[in-house]
C-alpha cells in the first residue's frame, strides 16, 4: 500500500499584492465614502486616492474600482464579505 499525499494547488494570487475590487450600487452621494469606510475597517491605510469611479450611462448606478493592498487570502475574503453584505452594494467583483 502506498502513501498518497493530498495534492495542493499553488495559490492563484501571490500575497501581499494590490488587488482591484469592483463595487457597484445605485448612485448616492454617500456611496463612495461608505465603501471606503467599509474597506478601511479591514485595511486602515486604504484611501480615496485608490478609488476610480464611473457612473452608468443613465446615471442610475455607480461603479467603484478599489485597488486595495492585501496581505492574505483571508483578508481579501473579509473585505468581500463586508462589501457583499452592505445594503448599498449591488455587486462586489
Encode pLDDT of 20-58 as tens digits.
999 999 999 999 999 999 999 999 999 999 999 999 999
Give the integer Cα–Cα distance in Å for 85 and 92.
10
What does the pLDDT read at residue 2? Answer: 58
pLDDT of residue 71: 97
4: in domain: no
Which tens digits make up the pLDDT trace of 48-92?
Answer: 999 999 999 999 999 999 999 999 999 999 999 999 999 999 999
Name the grid cell of 41. Answer: 475597517
Cα distances from 79 to residues 29, 57, 58, in angstroms, run 22, 28, 29
Average pLDDT over residues 6-12: 74
Full residue range of the structural domain in which residue 51 is found: 17-92
Total domains in the fold of the chain: 1
| Percentage above 90 pLDDT, the chain | 87
**40: in domain:** yes
What is the distance between the alpha carbons of residues 69 and 50, in angstroms, rounded to a whole number? 10
Looking up residue 38, the CATH number of its domain turns out to be 3.30.70.260
Residue 1: pLDDT above 60? no
User: For residue 1, is it within any domain?
Assistant: no
Q: Does residue 58 lie within any of the structural domains?
A: yes
Look at residue 66 and tell me if it is in a domain. Answer: yes
In a domain? residue 41: yes
Amino acid at each position: 500500500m502506498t502513501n498518497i499525499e493530498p495534492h495542493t494547488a499553488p495559490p492563484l494570487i501571490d500575497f501581499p499584492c494590490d488587488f482591484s475590487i469592483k463595487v457597484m450600487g445605485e448612485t448616492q452621494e454617500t456611496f463612495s465614502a461608505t465603501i471606503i469606510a467599509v474597506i478601511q475597517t479591514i485595511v486602515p491605510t486604504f484611501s480615496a486616492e485608490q478609488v476610480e469611479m464611473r457612473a452608468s450611462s443613465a446615471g442610475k448606478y455607480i461603479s467603484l474600482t478599489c485597488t486595495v493592498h492585501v496581505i492574505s487570502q483571508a483578508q481579501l475574503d473579509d473585505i468581500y464579505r463586508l462589501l457583499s453584505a452592505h445594503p448599498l452594494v449591488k455587486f462586489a467583483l
